[in-house]
Structure 1
Amino acid sequence: MKTCFKITFILLLVLSCSSNDNDISSSQLYPSFGSAIDVTINGLSSDAMEPFISPDGNYLFFNNLNDGINTKLYYATKINDSTFNYVGELTGTNQTITPHLDAVADMDMNGDFYWTSTRNYPTELNNLFHGNFSNGNVIDIDRVQGDFNMNTPGWLIMDHGISLDGQYLYFNNAMFDDVNCVGPCETTLGVAQKENGATFTTLPNSTSILQTINDANYIYYAPCISSDNLELYYTRYLKGAITSNTVFEICVAVRPNFLSNFSAPKVLFSEVIANLIEAPTLTLDKNIIYYHRKTSNSHKIVMRYRSSS
């Protein structure tokens, strides 16, 4: 959801320990990944943040600097796992009048595309959008409706993760108060099920599904649910003043089947804010994880190959 946009408009998704799975040996299920490999986007000279790899693996979506002033969505096409060709802006998703933010791409296997946007805010408070993606265009754009929208000034959908089949939305509500907090002051996580193309309803057991990860001591964002719905990836940091010592963690929680609650999370990678890492996304076969990291003068996408689970 960065200390750019993520800290000015984030979404996180996490999942947790199950009431009936406490005897499960999660250590046997957690994935691990190899060393980081830089991703090259030929023709791109600006920041690349909040990556999302399409289910077919052919498109890499991302946004530029998450400053909430001129934040837009872009895409690139695949050459190989670590090399993509920059194409340009994602037509249909981006506002034209500053300040604005369009960021955090997400898409299911049917091409239903989701992103967060500040358009017409605060006149309209539900800020999660969706449309149909095809060949670099998003059409039939509409706001996503549902009881997960708090519709309260200051509270926004920071981030989101859609299941591969498009039936489950992992949402993150965040409260922003520029007077008292840098970035979100508070976050809450939930899971909602699709009622129709534009409406989701929070699951009755959403709280129990997320009970271990919804820890009031943390700020959560940037959720990604694996294609088999068994692994939930996200970013978190300890709540409080953000300093040079603040550590950002990319975590994963797991479960043995789709009906179970998630395990306690495991930290996969962590960095202090100077080397900020955020926003994991996973390939369909779960073999590659992409995320972005901060460099000395920009934000770049990196990848890692899965080594075990």
Structure 2
Amino acid sequence: MTKKAGRLWLAIAGMANWIQSGMHWTFVQSGQEITKENGMMTPATTGLLLVFATMTFTGCGGQKHADPPAARIAPEYLAFGNPERITIRGYAGDAMEPFITKDERYLLFNNRNDPRINTNLHFAERVDDLTFNYRGEIKGVNTKALDGVPSVDRSGNLFFVSTRTYKESLSTLFRGRLDDGNVSGVQLVAGISRHLPGILTFDAEIAADGDTLFVVDGRFTGGEVPETADIVIAVRDGSGFRRLATSGDVLKNVNTDALEYAPAIASDLLELFFTRLDRAGGSIRTGIFRASRTSNDAPFGIPEKVSPIAGFVEAPSLSNDGRSLYYHFLDGKRFVISRVSR
């Protein structure tokens, strides 16, 4: 495997591995341990490994990292309990990347990341915390490219990741105005992409106030997995956003030598939930973590692993009242959404 013909793997199911158009995708079952066979990655148990692109990448990252042991051992956060799978009535497909709107009326999600399937944004209307009625695909936003990872601020501004113009723009983050399942005014979000080959924004969540974005940068160098995946903060700047100069300091306890992605920020900006994928010792392990702080200017503290969430889990989404945490997990061969509460 060389950098000129390197097949890049994001060992992450559902984390917005969104390079599809003009590139090669393959799905490989994975799990707690990954092995190589005939030059390809193959599973030892269960899970999902997403082959995400065949292309040449260079570039470098500039995030500050916590000490590597932080990725291996973490304290537990025990306030959540009672994991329960949700029901989306009228929908039988895979459900990934859940997002609960701030009025808690809708569940947004995307279907499976599979080259045989057109991955699009969908929505369902809330009946109760565990039951939603499927309303269909979100209109005015989906394309033949991959569209996913939705989030919405209090004012109804939808942010999502799409590969529709990546080859021309080196950008993947879009926004539009969401109104009862219809989106208008879709456009690229200015100020987020680093416009560097090998550095991709593949995950994002807009805060409730609409003025703060938590995005994820991945750095790829042609190897089998991304070299880094780190969370970055951006703030509104006119009609676009700019990366916060102090983001590295604010997130110094969050980003490690493991892969951090799928951020979910509380409405008051004092709690950050995210997924961490650790590859230490040749094993693949995912967990959902929580970091908190005392003020919006303070750095986040040492992350705690959210218990009792277990298995191949990713993509947390916190309800506006902070009581419910939704996430997706691999149940057999299907991705479904579950919830814990506090």
Using structure 2 for the length normalisation, give the TM-score: 0.76
Q: Which residue of 2 aligns with 1:22?
A: none
Q: Given that residues 111 and 120 in structure 2 are in contact (C-alpha distance below 8 angstroms), is that contact kept between their aligned partners in structure 1?
A: yes
Q: How many residues align?
A: 281
Counterpart-to-counterpart distance in 2, 1:228 and 1:234: 16
Q: Which residue of 1 aligns with 2:98?
A: 51
Q: What SS does structure 2 have at the residue aligned with 1:222?
A: strand
Work out which of the residue numbers 61, 74, 82 in structure 1 matches 2:130: 82
Counterpart-to-counterpart distance in 2, 1:143 and 1:261: 29
Q: Which residue of 1 aligns with 2:139?
A: 91
- Deviation track 1:29-70 (CA, whole Å, cap 9, x = no partner) reads x66201211100001110000000000000000000123552
Q: Structure 1, unaligned stretches of length 5 or more? A: 18-26
Q: Given that residues 16 and 264 in structure 1 are in contact (C-alpha distance below 8 angstroms), is that contact kept between their aligned partners in structure 2?
A: no
Is 2:246 the partner of 1:210? no
Is 2:231 the partner of 1:189? yes
Q: Which residue of 2 aligns with 1:165?
A: 209
Is 2:112 the partner of 1:65? yes
Q: Given that residues 14 and 315 in structure 2 are in contact (C-alpha distance below 8 angstroms), is that contact kept between their aligned partners in structure 1?
A: no
Counterpart-to-counterpart distance in 2, 1:169 and 1:133: 17
Is 2:158 the partner of 1:149? no
Counterpart-to-counterpart distance in 1, 2:176 and 2:11: 24
Q: Percent identity?
A: 35
Q: What SS does structure 2 have at the residue aligned with 1:36?
A: strand
Work out which of the residue numbers 312, 317, 322 in structure 2 matches 1:281: 317
Q: Which residue of 2 aligns with 1:6?
A: 15
- With over 3 angstroms needed to count, the CA separation of the structure-2 counterparts of 1:3 and 1:304, relative to structure 1, is same
Q: What SS does structure 1 have at the residue aligned with 2:167?
A: coil
User: Which structure is richer in relative contact order (CA contacts within 8 A, separation 6 or more)?
Assistant: 1
Q: CA deviation at 1:286?
A: 0.2
Q: Which residue of 2 aligns with 1:39?
A: 86
Is 2:259 the partner of 1:219? yes
Work out which of the residue numbers 97, 101, 126 in structure 1 matches 2:171: 126
Q: CA deviation at 1:156?
A: 1.4
Counterpart-to-counterpart distance in 2, 1:176 and 1:67: 21
Q: Structure 2, unaligned stretches of length 5 or more? A: 1-9, 20-62, 67-74
- With over 3 angstroms needed to count, the CA separation of the structure-2 counterparts of 1:270 and 1:232, relative to structure 1, is same
Q: What one-letter code is carried by the residue in structure 1 that aligns with 2:317?
A: T
Q: CA deviation at 1:246?
A: 1.5
Q: What one-letter code is carried by the residue in structure 1 that aligns with 2:302?
A: A
Counterpart-to-counterpart distance in 2, 1:45 and 1:176: 34
Counterpart-to-counterpart distance in 1, 2:64 and 2:320: 19
Q: Which residue of 2 aligns with 1:262?
A: 300
Q: What SS does structure 2 have at the residue aligned with 1:123?
A: helix
- Deviation track 1:225-283 (CA, whole Å, cap 9, x = no partner) reads 00111000000112469x6x4210100000112121110100114878xx411100011
Q: Given that residues 16 and 253 in structure 1 are in contact (C-alpha distance below 8 angstroms), is that contact kept between their aligned partners in structure 2?
A: no
Q: What one-letter code is carried by the residue in structure 2 that aligns with 1:33?
A: F
Is 2:281 the partner of 1:233? no
RMSD (CA atoms)? 2.6
Q: Given that residues 248 and 270 in structure 1 are in contact (C-alpha distance below 8 angstroms), is that contact kept between their aligned partners in structure 2?
A: no
